[in-house]
Structure 1
Amino acid sequence: MDFTEIYKQTGQLVSFSPGAHFLLTAIQDRLVVRRTDSFHITRSWQLHPDPSPTASAVSQPPSKSSRLTTSRRPPARAPPDGGAGSSVDRDGWITHAGWSCDSEYILAACARKGVVDVFKMRDEEWRARIEAGAEGLVKAEWAPDGRSIVCWSEWGLRVTVWSLVTDSATYIQYPAHPERGYAFRSDGHYLILAERHKSKDAMGVYDATSTYRMVRHFPLPTALFAALSLSPTGNHVAVWEGPLEHKIYILSLAGELLGTFTPEKDPTFGVRAVAWHPVGLFLVVLGWDDKVYVLENLTWGPVATFELQSRIPTGTTIWREPLEWLEATGGRGFLSYERVQAPHTLTLTPRDRTKPPSELSAATKSSCEHLAWNIDGTTLMVRYGGAPEAIWLYVFPSFARPPDSRSAPPAVMKPKLRSVLLHASAVTSAVWNPVRKASLVCATGGGAVYLWSDEWVSASPEGEGEAEEVAECVGVPARKFAAGALRWAPDGRGLVLLDRETFCCAFEVEEEAGDVPVPG
C-alpha cells in the first residue's frame, strides 16, 4: 500500500465522495476538498462566524424561527495548506459534514451554533444556510435524494426535513433517538422513524418521495426502546429493548409483529449489536453475555449459537501479531502475522456480569464490540467484549434460497470458526472492503494497519494460481501517527486512516503485468 502525507482534520470528519474522486475534510470552521489522484486542494470554504440562532431567538421577537436562505457571494477562503487559525472559537467548529449522493453539494453543520451551511461544487460562490432557531440542532445529514437535509433538534422535539429545491420544510414530531432510532430504505423511498409519544414507543413510516407524508404509524411492543435496524430488503425492521432486557422484535413495515426473540436460558443484559445478512436471510444478535445468536428469516428462531470461549478449537487458522515488530521495522514496510498452532488458549478480560452495561468499566464499554458481514454474506466478523484484542471470522454454508422464499431453512446449519486474528492491543476499528468479498482491514490505535484476505493468488509449479489466506501487518510511515479509525473509499481501492487530529490515506499499489496481487 502507498501512503499519503499527514493532513489536519477535526472531529473525524473526513470522507470520500460517492464516486471516490474527491476527499472532504473539516478543519475547525473550514471545509477543504482535495482530488484523490493528486491530493491538491480543489475547493475550500469557511463558515461565517454568525451568532447562535438560539441565542438570537431569545433576544429577538417571538416570530423568530427556523429558516432556510440561499445566496451567491464570494466564499471565505481557507489558507492554501487547508489549515485553520488558532483563534477560532470551538463553538464555531464544524460538527457534521457530508456529500450529497451525486457529489454536487456539501453540507457543514455547526450544532453548537444551530446552523447548517450548504455549498455547491460547481459554483463556489453559491451557498445556502439553515438556521435551526430556538429548538436547537444536534445533527444534520443528507437524505438519500441528495436535495434534502434532515436536521434533528435538541431534546427530541422534532425532525425537520429541508428541501433545497422548494425551500420548504417538513416537520416530524418527537423522534426517539438521532443516531439509533431511524433508517432510510435502501431505495430511498421510505423513512422509518422511532418516536416517543406520551411516554410510549411508536414507529412512523414516511414517504420520502412525497414530502415525507405519513403512510403508516403504529405502536411498538418495546417498553424502553433502544435502537432499530432495517433489513437490506426493506421488508423487516428489528427493534430491541434497553440494556437491562435481552429482547428483540421483528416487525413488518405495516406494523405486524412477525417474531420475538429472547434467550431461553439465562437471559442476561440486553442486546449489544445486530447485523442483517446482506440479502436478509439471517439476523445476527450479539448480547452483553458475549453470545451470538443467528436467527433465520422464516420463524425468526435461532439456527445457530456461538459464544466467546478461551479455547480456540483445532481446525481454526490462528494469526498472531508479532511482538514489537513496529520497533524492529521502524514502522516501515509490512510483515506477516505469526501462525499459531491450534488448539490455543486465550487469556480473557475479566468482567463483572452482575452489573448492568451502564456500570461496566470504560474498557469494556469501548467500541471494540462489533458484528459485520462481508459483501456476499459468506463470512461474519465478530469482536467480543471479553477479548477486545481478537477478531473472530465465522464462515457460513452457502445454499440457494431467495430472501422472500417460504421454503424451510436447512435443518442443520453449522457456521464454522475459520480464523482468529490476535493483536497486542484492543481493536479500535475493523471494516470489510465494500467491493471485495474477502478483504478485511483493522486498526488498534497504533502506528499500523492490519490486513486479512483469502484472495491472495500464489503461483503453483503447474502455472495455475491457487487462492490462500494471508494476514499482514503494515506500518504507517510516520513518526507520530496512531490509526484509531478506518474508512474505505466507495470503490474499495482507497482507505482513510484517522488519528485524533490528523489523517492520511492509503491506496493500493498498482499491479504490473506478471506481479502477484497485493492484498488490501
Structure 2
Amino acid sequence: MDFTEIYKHSGSLVSFSPGAHFILNAVLDRVIVRKTDSFQISRTWVIDSTPSESIVLLNKPAKNSRLSSDSKSCTISQASWSSDSEYILAASVKGGFVQVFKLRDEEWTARIDCGVEGLVKAVWAPDGRTVLCFSDWGLRVTVWSLVTGSSSYVQFPLYPDKGFAFRADGRYFVLAERHKSKDKLGIYDTSESYKLVRHFTLPTSTLASFALSPTGNHIAVWEGPLEYKLHILTLAGNRLASFSPEPEPVLGIREVAWHPTGMFLAIAGWDDKVYILDSLSWSPVTSFELSSRISSEVAVWKEPAKWLESTQGRGFLSYEKLRGPQTVTLNKTDHTKANPKSGAVQLSWNQTGSLLLVRYETTPTAAHLYSFPSPSDAFAPRLRTVLLHSQAISQARWNPARKGSLALCCGNGSLYTWSDEWENESGEQEEIAECIGVPAKEFDTRNISWATDGKGLILMDKETFCCAFEVEEVESPT
C-alpha cells in the first residue's frame, strides 16, 4: 500500500466523497476538500462562527461581559457529503446552526439557524437536497429543503443517533418516536414533503433501537438491555413474529445486523451467542457460541510478536498461521456490574453476505469470521477464520466493493488486512493476512474507513489522519 502525508483533523471528521474523487476533513472551524489523486487542496471554507440568535439569548452573559463568538466557541462538530457530492454539510452543535457549501461554487453558501430547541445532530437525506436537524431533548426533527427553502417538523423523536432510517430507495423515512409514554414508529413519504403515511404503536415497553431490512419490507425492533426480545414488523405495522431464546438470558440484545439480501437476521446479546433467523419462519436456523477452543478445521492467524519493533513500522509482514487445535483466552465477566465486558460488540456482513464478522468483547483481540454458503449449496454456516492480535481491536471494516477483503486496526502504528482473494501458483484462491506498518514516527491507527470504490482507506489518529491506497500492478509489455 502507498501512504499519503499526515494531515490534521478535528473530531474524526474525515470522509471520502461518494464518488471517491475527493476527501473532506474539518479542522476547528475550517472545511478542507482535497483531490484524492494528488491530495492538493481543491476547496476550503471557514464557517460563520456567529451563534444563532436563540443560542445567544439562551446563553445571555452576565452584565458587563460579552459572549465569545470566535471560532473556538463554535467549532465544527459534524461534516458530511451529500449523496451526489455536490454539497457539504458543516454543523456546529454548540453554535446551534448548520452551514452548507457547494463544491462547484466556492462563493455559494446556505445557513440553517436552529431555534430554542437546540441542535444535537444534522444529517443528509438520500436526495442530497434535504437536511434533517435533530433538536435537543427529543423535541422534534426539522426537515429543511435546500431547493424550496421551506421546512417541516416531526415531533418527539426517540433517539437522534439510532432511531431513524431511510428505505434503500429513499422513498420513506422511518422514525422511532415517543408519544404519551408509548413507543411508536412513524413512516413518512419523502416525495411528498415528508407527509405522514403511517403511525403505529410498537410492541415494546422500552425500545432500544430498530433496523430496517435491505429490501425495505420488514423492520426489526427490540427491547432495552434488560429484556431479550425482538419483533419483526411490516411497514404497515403488522407484527409477523417475535423472538426470545429459551432460557432467556439475564441481559438483552446488544447488536442486530440484516443480511445484505434480507434473507437472514443476525442477533447478539451479552451472553457471547449469535442467533441467525431466516426470513421464512423468523426462527433460528443456526447459532454460534464463543468458545475458548478452536478446532483444527478453522484457519487461525496470529499477529507476530513485536513485529513493529523489528521492522521499525516499515513494510508489511504476514500473520503467523497456526496449525492444529488452538486455545483462546476468554476474559472473566462480572454480570453484577453495569455494562459488563461480554457479548458481541460488532456484527458485520461482507458485501455479498457470504461472511459474517463478529467481535466479542470477551475476546477483544480476536476477530471471528463465519462463512455462509451460497443459495445453491447446503446450508451449513461455520466458523471459518480467527484473527488474533497483540492488542484489542478498535475497528474492523469490510471492503464495500470486494466481497473478501477486511481491514482492521488496534490503536497502534499499523494496519491489518485479511483477504481470501489471493491466488496461489495453482490458480486457487487462498486466505492471506498481513500486518502493514504506517510509515510515520508518531501515529496510532484508532479508526479506519473505506472509500466507496474499495481502493482507498482513511486511517485516523486522535488529531491527525493519512490515507492508504492499494498499489495497482502494471503488466510489463511483452
Same fold, TM-score > 0.5, yes or no: yes
- Counterpart Cα distance in 2 of 1:322 and 1:288: 30
Look up the match of 2:65: none
- Counterpart Cα distance in 1 of 2:235 and 2:244: 22
Conserved? CA contact 2:183–2:205, under 8 Å: yes
Aligned match for 1:441, one of 381, 404, 407: 407
Residue 432 of structure 1 aligns to which amino acid in structure 2? W
**Mapping of residues 5-24 of structure 1, within 5 Å:** 5-24=5-24
- Counterpart Cα distance in 1 of 2:356 and 2:53: 46
Residue 381 of structure 1 aligns to which amino acid in structure 2? L
Moved more, 43-52 or 20-29: 43-52
- In the alignment of these two chains, the number of paired residues is 469
**Offset of residue 342 of structure 1:** 2.8
Q: TM-score, normalised by structure 1?
A: 0.88
**Offset of residue 313 of structure 1:** 1.4
**Offset of residue 349 of structure 1:** 1.2
**Offset of residue 133 of structure 1:** 1.4
Look up the match of 1:28: 28
Residue 26 of structure 1 aligns to which amino acid in structure 2? A
- Counterpart Cα distance in 1 of 2:41 and 2:153: 37
**Offset of residue 355 of structure 1:** 3.6
Conserved? CA contact 1:57–1:133, under 8 Å: no
- Counterpart Cα distance in 1 of 2:157 and 2:59: 28
**Offset of residue 353 of structure 1:** 2.5
- Counterpart Cα distance in 2 of 1:415 and 1:88: 57
Matched, 1:479 2:461: no
Conserved? CA contact 2:278–2:284, under 8 Å: yes
Look up the match of 2:130: 148
**Offset of residue 58 of structure 1:** 4.4
Cα deviation 1:116-161 (Å, max 9, x = unaligned) = 0000111111110000011100000110000000000000000011
**Mapping of residues 481-496 of structure 1, within 5 Å:** 481-496=443-458
Aligned match for 2:375, one of 389, 392, 399: 399
Aligned match for 2:216, one of 234, 237, 243: 234
Aligned match for 1:431, one of 397, 409, 430: 397
Conserved? CA contact 1:243–1:356, under 8 Å: no
Cα deviation 1:84-129 (Å, max 9, x = unaligned) = xxx9654311111111111111110001110000001111111100
- Counterpart Cα distance in 2 of 1:207 and 1:457: 48
Query: Aligned with 2:236: secondary structure?
Result: coil
Q: TM-score, normalised by structure 2?
A: 0.95
Give the 3 Å change call, closer, same or farther, for CA 356–302 of structure 1 in structure 2. Answer: farther
Conserved? CA contact 1:318–1:342, under 8 Å: no
Query: Aligned with 2:332: secondary structure?
Result: coil
Look up the match of 2:333: 351
Unaligned ranges ≥5, structure 2:
61-68
Conserved? CA contact 1:206–1:214, under 8 Å: yes
Aligned match for 1:378, one of 333, 336, 354: 354
Matched, 1:457 2:419: no
Look up the match of 1:504: 466
Give the 3 Å change call, closer, same or farther, for CA 58–430 of structure 1 in structure 2. Answer: closer
- Counterpart Cα distance in 1 of 2:274 and 2:336: 19
Aligned match for 2:272, one of 264, 281, 290: 290
Query: Aligned with 2:137: secondary structure?
Result: helix
Conserved? CA contact 1:53–1:115, under 8 Å: no
Look up the match of 2:431: 469
Query: Aligned with 1:11: secondary structure?
Result: coil
Query: Aligned with 1:394: secondary structure?
Result: strand
Residue 472 of structure 1 aligns to which amino acid in structure 2? E
Aligned match for 1:102, one of 84, 100, 110: 84
Conserved? CA contact 1:193–1:204, under 8 Å: yes
Conserved? CA contact 1:148–1:163, under 8 Å: yes
Query: Aligned with 1:459: secondary structure?
Result: coil
Query: Aligned with 1:369: secondary structure?
Result: strand
**Offset of residue 514 of structure 1:** 6.5
Q: Once superposed, what is the RMSD of the aligned Cα atoms?
A: 1.7
Look up the match of 1:415: 381
Residue 457 of structure 1 aligns to which amino acid in structure 2? E
**Mapping of residues 104-143 of structure 1, within 5 Å:** 104-143=86-125
Percent identity of paired positions between Structure 1 and Structure 2: 57
Conserved? CA contact 2:49–2:70, under 8 Å: no
**Offset of residue 512 of structure 1:** 1.5
**Mapping of residues 260-275 of structure 1, within 5 Å:** 260-275=242-257
- Counterpart Cα distance in 1 of 2:210 and 2:352: 23
Conserved? CA contact 1:228–1:238, under 8 Å: yes
Conserved? CA contact 1:303–1:413, under 8 Å: no
- Counterpart Cα distance in 2 of 1:39 and 1:196: 46
**Offset of residue 15 of structure 1:** 0.5
Residue 141 of structure 1 aligns to which amino acid in structure 2? V
**Offset of residue 339 of structure 1:** 1.0
Residue 213 of structure 1 aligns to which amino acid in structure 2? K
Conserved? CA contact 1:97–1:141, under 8 Å: no
Query: Aligned with 1:263: secondary structure?
Result: coil
Conserved? CA contact 1:29–1:94, under 8 Å: yes
Residue 250 of structure 1 aligns to which amino acid in structure 2? I
Matched, 1:53 2:53: yes
- Counterpart Cα distance in 2 of 1:453 and 1:332: 21
**Offset of residue 51 of structure 1:** 2.8
Matched, 1:216 2:201: no
- Counterpart Cα distance in 1 of 2:342 and 2:246: 25
Look up the match of 2:64: none
- Counterpart Cα distance in 2 of 1:59 and 1:238: 41
Residue 488 of structure 1 aligns to which amino acid in structure 2? W
Query: Aligned with 1:51: secondary structure?
Result: coil
**Offset of residue 268 of structure 1:** 2.2
Give the 3 Å change call, closer, same or farther, for CA 514–428 of structure 1 in structure 2. Answer: farther
Cα deviation 1:215-244 (Å, max 9, x = unaligned) = 010000110011111100000011111111
**Offset of residue 52 of structure 1:** 4.0
